[in-house]
Amino acid sequence: MKIIILGAGQVGGTLAGNLVSENNDITLVDEDLDRLHQLQSKYDLRVIQGNAAYPQTLRQAGAEDADMVIAVTCSDETNMIACQIAYTLFNTPTRIARIRSSSYLREKEQLFKPNAIPVDHLIAPEQLVIDYIYKLVEYPGALQVVSFAENKVSLVVVNAYYGGPLVGDDLTSLKDHLPHINTQIAAIFRNGRHIRPQNSTIIEAGDEVFFVVATEHIRAVMSELQRLEKPYKRIMIVGGGNVGAGLAKRLEEDCKVKLIEKKPQRAELLAERLQNTVVFCGDASDEQLLSEEHIEQIDLFLAVTNDDEANIMSAMLAKRMGAKKVIVLVQRYAYIDLVQGGIIDIVVYPQQATISALLGHVRKADIVNVSTLRRGVAEAIEAIAHGDKKTSRVVGKSIDKIKLPPGTTISAIVRGNDVIIANNTIEIQQDDHIIILLTDKKYITEVEKFFQPSPLFL
């Protein structure tokens, strides 16, 4: 596929790296020549320096015969105009734009359509991050929760701890513990290394466990791997930007929410907009402020400003002063391994959510949902099976007859409203939604081929 990526920032650069490794023809456009040269030396791609919204820049990038334009510059307006020009002048088949401003997003139904601003797929990073963090609040103790097939089935990542009934037992015990719940332990990472789960595999404390289950049963399976944490009732949010304000809005109905915002004008505005959130103007690294607001009673401290260092330091201070759990938003990839798992409980890397959403629109075959895991090393996908026994490599076959690449597991099938946890005897049917986990995403191209029906396939 010939793809033009507009914007060589963190998202554009990471996306380019993902797509180049999957044998796509990538052209990267940006005004920062140094950044372009860095990425060109790292990946096998073409680079063009110029304004992403200029017709001559798009023409030079090959828009006349491109399959897709992905506009992820730091300017919403540039992204929208680029998609408009790609549509009007070059008839580019697929146009994707990252849009951040809530002013545009509020009117998205009227704005983003062929006779207005022709954007096929809209990526709203802040909303994706809000959804991601909200899932962590909904399921205390989870490291990541990804839902598929309209929330019917979920993949959940947790650390196994002493106190979980399954810790110290082999996987066959899970059926004895939860006889009425069907689930699959899809992957285990121990000391950073992947272990393929088998019936004889013993869960050890500290294991990072990936399990798939009908969404309604998530807590039951989590309770086998760790002592269930109590629901978060008292939450403190640091940062009143789009993410902080959006989270407060989502959480204030069910939780007691306090929000700390540095800028007086913004704090005043949020105090008017948020119904049940107590808004403070101040600095979250101010020990006196945290003490006055009884930080020791806070169940969850969320630091979601645009300043990585401020987020990390305020969260460390909050934890030292008694906050039970802390989650921080971090933009710099290098910080993640430095801070997660110590004082900081969970680090959220916002680019991961954006890349996942973009990949869902870029993948070949009918792949409707993608989620990157373990900071991009692993991946979970939802694919729809099309064709019949003659034209498909999966339809009409039982799972044990499908020769998937190493580290690739079919974990669940959603058939209509039914969630079927996979086993070797299950036969794939047309229109099944298939949930697949890849512990090494370098095999994604091979997996895609399984879901590309062809009349020539024998």
Report field, pTM of the whole predicted structure over 0.85: yes
Contact between 259 and 270 (Cβ < 8 Å): yes
Residue 363 has pLDDT above 90, yes or no: no
Summarize the confidence of residues 430-454 as an average pLDDT.
87
| Dihedrals phi, psi of 261, to nearest 5 degrees | -130, 135
Contact residues for 410 (Cβ-Cβ < 8 A; gap 6+)? 399, 402, 404, 422, 434, 435, 436
Instruction: Give 170: exposed, middle or buried? Use CB within 10 Å, 0-12, 13-18, 19+.
Output: middle
Q: Outline where DSSP puts E strands in 40-171.
A: 46-49, 68-71, 94-98, 121-123, 142-148, 153-159
- pLDDT for 456 equals 47
**In the prediction, which pLDDT does 314 show?**
96
- Give the strand order in the sheet containing 378-384: 367-373, 378-384, 433-438, 408-415, 418-421
DSSP 40-78: HHHSS-EEEES-TT-HHHHHHHTGGG-SEEEE--S-HHH
CA 434 distance to own-chain centroid: 18
List the strands of the sheet with 300-303, edge to edge. Answer: 277-281, 256-261, 234-238, 300-303, 326-329, 346-348
> Residue 35: beta bridge partners?
none
Residue 332 has pLDDT above 80, yes or no: yes
What's the whole-number mean pLDDT along residues 340-368? 86
Q: Is the per-residue pLDDT at 455 higher than 60?
A: no
The confidence band for 453, taking pLDDT boundaries of 50, 70 and 90, is low
d(C-alpha 332, C-alpha 349), whole Å = 8
CA–CA distance, 397 with 412 (Å, rounded to integer): 15
pLDDT the model gives residue 441: 83
- In this predicted structure, what is the pLDDT of residue 442? 83
CA–CA distance, 133 with 12 (Å, rounded to integer): 23
For position 454, what pLDDT does the model report? 61
pLDDT at 136: 96
**Over the chain, what is the mean pLDDT?**
92
Distance of CA 298 to the CA centre of its chain: 26
3-state secondary structure of 362: helix
The mean pLDDT of 325-351, rounded to a whole number, is: 87
Q: In the numeric block, which tokens belong to residue 156?
A: 């959940």
Q: What is the mean pLDDT of residues 387-398?
A: 90
Percent of the chain with pLDDT over 90: 78
Residue 235, pLDDT above cutoff 50:
yes
**Segment 114-125 mean pLDDT:** 93
First to last CA, the chain: 25
C-alpha angle 125-127-129 in degrees, rounded to nearest 5: 70
Average pLDDT over residues 382-407: 91
Residue 458 pLDDT class (50, 70, 90 cuts): very low
With contact defined as beta carbons under 8 Å apart, do 224 and 166 qualify? yes
pLDDT for the residue numbered 457 = 44
